[in-house]
Structure 1
């Protein structure tokens, strides 16, 4: 009995002690102590130079994060007061914090396949290929490690950057092997070249007609295919290429994630995707190897092409997805690549590729067919993004968007034009009128600015490529992108090109089209978020938005403008978690 009384007394004492401790913990204002405060942030970042990218382009010193969201932004002394005993405090020590950078248009995770699945055929400054023989040599090296009869794949060659100034041919590739089928993709992704074995597998002969939207290059004297394939003709061979295995794709994702996060990217917009690629992305996400936020565009020109079975992936429909993986615009194409001579221009190329002085490239479909497809998608509420490099292609795209809006008026559709490389002033006026938003590939001024000036466009038109400042003057919101793997992932390189417009030779390509640093930074943060209807959840460091940040060693607003692309990315943070640290 005595033992029982002692036991009860002990329980009472413990309860009383807990009550006293709680009462003592209350402050005079009646709030819970920091140790028990359920509202305390998980992490506070203090003593930084925070470029918020908000509407006022304001700056701050500190930010507080809880459960992957920003809960406060302000001065260090104020943010510190929010911290509880379990809050992690990160001293930025004067380093610069920006909202996570948004890759507005690339082909994740393709860059991860280069080297492992594809032989890297890029020329300087990206790779080492300087002549046709270099291509033959690296492919021969791969062939010696490849089982006879298996495919050898390469990507990234650029005829404008090699000594011979021409595409490799089937004869060049046959020097590597006639037993291995070989298939090389041009850096633009709009041309390819195959050897004799690959052409044979595809059944391509001198009698094979050009497919819709594509061209089989043939020798003028013999009529035999040279191996070079444009646009739609590439699929005649590519459909026979075995897809990368799931294991290879997993490794590609891991490698691409390293590349993107090391560049400060927290969101990637995949500029074309299929049902199969979306299913794979879901698998990668479930495996925990995809920390990036991904928005993938669907491809096709009709609802049947872009809709998936709801039971499989939810379909390309409103409501599918989550904060890490979702569907975006429907992607279409109206022309190809200017450096591949498949861009569609209103006036001839400065130096045409053959004997025709009036050569202007070509559209991939009639403008009426394009308008029909766009109208169907627009009517059903989709955002549409159309690839258009040449100004004639952009004319067709604007015609299609106008027809769609006339038939089914819709506010704030935010239809996109991808690349918009040679957009004219009158076309920008029409974009403004129709509410069209371009995503500019302004890094062309660095990688191909010299070639556009001398060969493709000539000085006058080249100076107007990627006309960012003309868009700014009209109040047109836009993004800028790298189109990786066409060029390496580096949003800061895109910012550098937008600010400097310096070519590889050192020449400035159209100085009047340069924009300010803040305007360029907005194009990889808040304006890129707006372009995808996500301005309320990302793109700036403001209360309620995702805790997606990038920490830089130097301030892109004050550093020497020629050093912007070389600023070190120190840390990349998604949902408040570090995914990359230098």
Structure 2
């Protein structure tokens, strides 16, 4: 197919102003530490690493590195002599754009947060939520054209509607983003503003995922109908760039050096790529982003699945040091975990409500087949066991029609499933990138409302996968969970909830499995195990610098480990406090 002018324009935007690698000359830098945990089973520990031009030359002791140093210019960097070094942590599923948006909003959440020392208390109950919302609005920046808040959750905060938001203000536009970021409520002034940008409510008056009487939008009703008209202000550089930079600093604060943007282009391809290049594709940025395009939304934007695939086919040619595309694409199945919109098999939800499909199964199969046949790695958002069944049925059909070796078909999130689903994933040679925070945050609430105690205990069931040798990684899906890999590893190991209860200890990961799930197995999940994920010769010099060794403190001390900062391609970055 001949590439269209629109696709040419987008490609030109994507490749403009390539990042310049940090020039480090030919001198070797040797980093020494109290202990280096390599995640390389052939050499599990070391005390020194030789690095040149951002690449690891050798690992071992200073004596072991002597052949590299003889006759070469080198320096010894011993600033980490009291620290422990691990491979730079990898978050294989998060959203830089959503982080940038979330940091523009007032957080009113059902659980407490602590982001780089900035604490947000939990808000519990309808009365408390409405009072906090009103107080936040009254103390807003008067120069901000729109008041935005994130974190609303109906199971904790009660009812909400556009009418209630109008009671707060009939003049100032208000946007309430639900905790999952798969739902939103707006007031009349914001609806009026969106109409001036081209939104035509009459065109979507019968949309099944919009309630116009409440100005409530969810799943496709949010993503495809109203969000495109919000992108101009949500991704305005003056508003978004500080959020991108704070997201970047937050990742470094927690030892992360590589992330997968698991929905690239999901809102607006041009604006998102431009924002990524301005903020993360720079010589001073210590974060590598693996791009994973949302091909269904890209097809909708270009009004052609063929045009979307043409663009995706050309992405790999234009990689930079910090923005990498290596053949992974994103599809969506059922609804959000935080909204109880996932598809649940019998007996369903306790109150009888039904789950949602983000993508109707027939369309899902069509897109999955196209990208499977073209050889892409497919990542699929799915949360419920009903959603997982449809996804795995599709994978089985694809395998039957066109078997592929090392396909790395990835189930993303894995919110709720039974052991039979884990067995089937193993049989189909799929892999799982999971969000263990679901159990910590939602286990108590969903035991009482939605699933019941027995099924809530199956939230994020990872032990059954690991026992069957299914590759497992842990992700934050930030801002769904804290982008704190050590904390996520602790949640997968402990299976504790917010209240301190332990759900299904048989589904725990071991310490080694949990650390692998944020390093080498996370790299494998996104096809980057040859570049990052362990400390060994030939890989990129990305390290997390810690105050303690996870293997010494164990599960009890894991979430209390302090991160000093990172080394990214051989350059030191101390975390900002």
TM-score band w.r.t. shorter chain? 0.7 to 0.9
Structure 1, unaligned stretches of length 5 or more?
1-37, 218-223
1:272 to 253, 260, 263: 263
Match of 2:360 in 1: 366
**How far is 1:81 from its partner?**
7.0
**How far is 1:167 from its partner?**
3.8
Correspondence 1:118 to 2:116 = no
Match of 1:70 in 2: 56
Name the SS of the counterpart of 2:444 in structure 1: helix
Q: Could you tell me whether the CA contact under 8 Å between 2:102 and 2:150 is conserved in 1? A: yes
Structure 2, unaligned stretches of length 5 or more?
1-23, 114-119
* Pairing 1:52-131 to 2, within 5 Å after superposition: 52-56=38-42, 58-79=44-65, 82-83=68-69, 84=72, 86-90=74-78, 92-115=80-103, 117-126=104-113, 127-128=120-121, 129-130=123-124, 131=128
2:454 to 451, 460, 466: 460
Match of 2:319 in 1: 321
Match of 2:237 in 1: 246
Q: 1:285 to 1:230 in 2, by over 3 A?
A: closer
Question: What is the CA RMSD across the aligned residues, in angstroms?
Answer: 2.8
Bigger radius of gyration, 1 or 2?
1
2:531 to 526, 537, 541: 537
Match of 2:12 in 1: none
The two structures have a TM-score, normalised by structure 2, of 0.84
**How far is 1:385 from its partner?**
0.9
Which deviations, in whole Å up to 9, do the C-alpha atoms of 1:451-495 show, x marking residues without a partner? Answer: 122222212112121111101111000211111112221111111
Match of 1:554 in 2: 548
Correspondence 1:526 to 2:520 = yes
Correspondence 1:341 to 2:332 = no
Q: Could you tell me whether the CA contact under 8 Å between 1:43 and 1:64 is conserved in 2? A: yes
Q: Could you tell me whether the CA contact under 8 Å between 2:254 and 2:565 is conserved in 1? A: no
Q: Could you tell me whether the CA contact under 8 Å between 1:204 and 1:225 is conserved in 2? A: no
Q: Distance in 2 between matches of 1:333 and 1:309?
A: 17
Q: Could you tell me whether the CA contact under 8 Å between 2:252 and 2:286 is conserved in 1? A: no
**How far is 1:407 from its partner?**
2.3
Q: Could you tell me whether the CA contact under 8 Å between 1:440 and 1:478 is conserved in 2? A: yes
Correspondence 1:262 to 2:253 = yes
Name the SS of the counterpart of 1:132 in structure 2: helix
Name the SS of the counterpart of 2:64 in structure 1: helix
Match of 2:131 in 1: 134
1:498 to 483, 492, 496: 492
Q: Distance in 1 between matches of 2:204 and 2:524?
A: 46
**How far is 1:397 from its partner?**
0.8
Q: Distance in 1 between matches of 2:273 and 2:25?
A: 37
User: Between Structure 1 and Structure 2, how many residues are aligned?
Assistant: 524
Match of 1:194 in 2: 186
Q: Could you tell me whether the CA contact under 8 Å between 2:416 and 2:458 is conserved in 1? A: yes
Q: Distance in 2 between matches of 1:144 and 1:541?
A: 46
Q: Could you tell me whether the CA contact under 8 Å between 2:410 and 2:431 is conserved in 1? A: yes
1:483 to 456, 470, 477: 477
Q: Distance in 2 between matches of 1:316 and 1:536?
A: 22
Q: Distance in 1 between matches of 2:337 and 2:363?
A: 22
Q: Distance in 2 between matches of 1:494 and 1:106?
A: 13
Q: Could you tell me whether the CA contact under 8 Å between 1:43 and 1:88 is conserved in 2? A: yes
Q: Distance in 2 between matches of 1:64 and 1:343?
A: 48
Q: 1:335 to 1:187 in 2, by over 3 A?
A: same
Q: Distance in 2 between matches of 1:182 and 1:289?
A: 35
Q: Distance in 2 between matches of 1:134 and 1:57?
A: 57
Name the SS of the counterpart of 2:529 in structure 1: coil
More divergent stretch after superposition (122-131 vs 457-466): 122-131
Name the SS of the counterpart of 2:96 in structure 1: coil
**How far is 1:380 from its partner?**
1.1
Name the SS of the counterpart of 1:475 in structure 2: coil
Q: Distance in 2 between matches of 1:173 and 1:461?
A: 35
Name the SS of the counterpart of 1:562 in structure 2: helix
Which deviations, in whole Å up to 9, do the C-alpha atoms of 1:111-149 show, x marking residues without a partner? Answer: 24434x3222224312233422234324423556146xx
Which deviations, in whole Å up to 9, do the C-alpha atoms of 1:194-216 show, x marking residues without a partner? Answer: 123334555787996442xx522
**How far is 1:98 from its partner?**
0.5
Name the SS of the counterpart of 1:332 in structure 2: strand
More divergent stretch after superposition (40-49 vs 383-392): 40-49
**How far is 1:288 from its partner?**
3.7
Q: Distance in 1 between matches of 2:528 and 2:538?
A: 13
Q: Could you tell me whether the CA contact under 8 Å between 2:110 and 2:152 is conserved in 1? A: yes
Q: Distance in 2 between matches of 1:529 and 1:560?
A: 23
Q: Could you tell me whether the CA contact under 8 Å between 1:375 and 1:403 is conserved in 2? A: no
Match of 2:572 in 1: 578
Which deviations, in whole Å up to 9, do the C-alpha atoms of 1:69-93 show, x marking residues without a partner? Answer: 1111112433367445542332533
**How far is 1:309 from its partner?**
10
Q: Could you tell me whether the CA contact under 8 Å between 2:32 and 2:76 is conserved in 1? A: no
Q: Distance in 1 between matches of 2:570 and 2:455?
A: 45
**How far is 1:56 from its partner?**
4.7
Q: 1:526 to 1:197 in 2, by over 3 A?
A: same
Name the SS of the counterpart of 1:77 in structure 2: coil
Q: Could you tell me whether the CA contact under 8 Å between 2:248 and 2:280 is conserved in 1? A: no
Match of 1:26 in 2: none
Q: Could you tell me whether the CA contact under 8 Å between 2:30 and 2:48 is conserved in 1? A: yes
The two structures have a TM-score, normalised by structure 1, of 0.83
Q: 1:141 to 1:39 in 2, by over 3 A?
A: closer
Name the SS of the counterpart of 2:559 in structure 1: helix
2:36 to 50, 63, 74: 50
More divergent stretch after superposition (423-432 vs 392-401): 423-432
Which deviations, in whole Å up to 9, do the C-alpha atoms of 1:224-257 show, x marking residues without a partner? Answer: 7123322112243333323332233322222111
Q: Could you tell me whether the CA contact under 8 Å between 1:119 and 1:138 is conserved in 2? A: no
Match of 1:291 in 2: 286
Q: Distance in 2 between matches of 1:443 and 1:136?
A: 25
Q: Could you tell me whether the CA contact under 8 Å between 1:50 and 1:59 is conserved in 2? A: yes
